[in-house]
Amino acid sequence: MSANLKYVSLGILVFQTTSLVLTMRYSRTLKEEGPRYLSSTAVVVAELLKIMACILLVYKDSKCSLRALNRVLHDEILNKPMETLKLAIPSGIYTLQNNLLYVALSNLDAATYQVTYQLKILTTALFSVSMLSKKLGVYQWLSLVILMTGVAFVQWPSDSQLDSKELSAGSQFVGLMAVLTACFSSGFAGVYFEKILKETKQSVWIRNIQLGFFGSIFGLMGVYIYDGELVSKNGFFQGYNRLTWIVVVLQALGGLVIAAVIKYADNILKGFATSLSIILSTLISYFWLQDFVPTRVSLCRQAGVLWRDLGLLQPPTPWFKGFSCLSL
- By CB under 6 A, name the binding residues for ligand C5P: 94, 98, 186, 190, 193, 208, 211, 255, 258-259
Cβ proximity of 217 and 1 under 8 Å:
no
Cβ proximity of 51 and 209 under 8 Å:
yes
Nearer to ligand C5P, 94 or 113 (CB): 94
Q: How far is CA 130 from CA 32, 135, 142, in A?
A: 48, 9, 18
Backbone angles phi, psi at 241, to 5 degrees: -135, -170
Nearer to ligand C5P, 127 or 193 (CB): 193
Nearer to ligand C5P, 187 or 304 (CB): 187
Q: How far is CA 29 from CA 2, 161, 165, in A?
A: 41, 15, 19
Q: ∠ CA(298), CA(105), CA(282), 5° rounding?
A: 25
Residue nearest to ligand C5P (CB): 255
Give the shortest CB-256-to-ligand C5P separation in angstroms.
Answer: 7
Nearer to ligand C5P, 37 or 193 (CB): 193
Give the shortest CB-276-to-ligand C5P separation in angstroms.
Answer: 14
Q: ∠ CA(118), CA(123), CA(125), 5° rounding?
A: 105
Give the shortest CB-189-to-ligand C5P separation in angstroms.
Answer: 6
Give the shortest CB-250-to-ligand C5P separation in angstroms.
Answer: 12
Q: Distance between CA atoms of 236 and 77, rounded to whole angstroms?
A: 28
CB atoms within 10 A of CB 93: 20
Nearer to ligand C5P, 47 or 316 (CB): 47
Give the shortest CB-259-to-ligand C5P separation in angstroms.
Answer: 4
Cα-atom radius of gyration of the chain, to the nearest Å?
20
Q: Which residues contact 188 (CB under 8 A, 6 or more apart)?
A: 93, 123, 127
Give the shortest CB-172-to-ligand C5P separation in angstroms.
Answer: 21
Q: How far is CA 102 from CA 66, 110, 201, 234, 242, in A?
A: 41, 11, 35, 23, 24
Give the shortest CB-315-to-ligand C5P separation in angstroms.
Answer: 28
Nearer to ligand C5P, 64 or 85 (CB): 85
Q: How far is CA 95 from CA 44, 88, 218, 248, 288, in A?
A: 11, 10, 7, 16, 34
Cβ proximity of 88 and 212 under 8 Å:
no
Nearer to ligand C5P, 53 or 211 (CB): 211
Give the shortest CB-30-to-ligand C5P separation in angstroms.
Answer: 24
Nearer to ligand C5P, 150 or 190 (CB): 190
Nearer to ligand C5P, 255 or 304 (CB): 255
Give the shortest CB-162-to-ligand C5P separation in angstroms.
Answer: 24
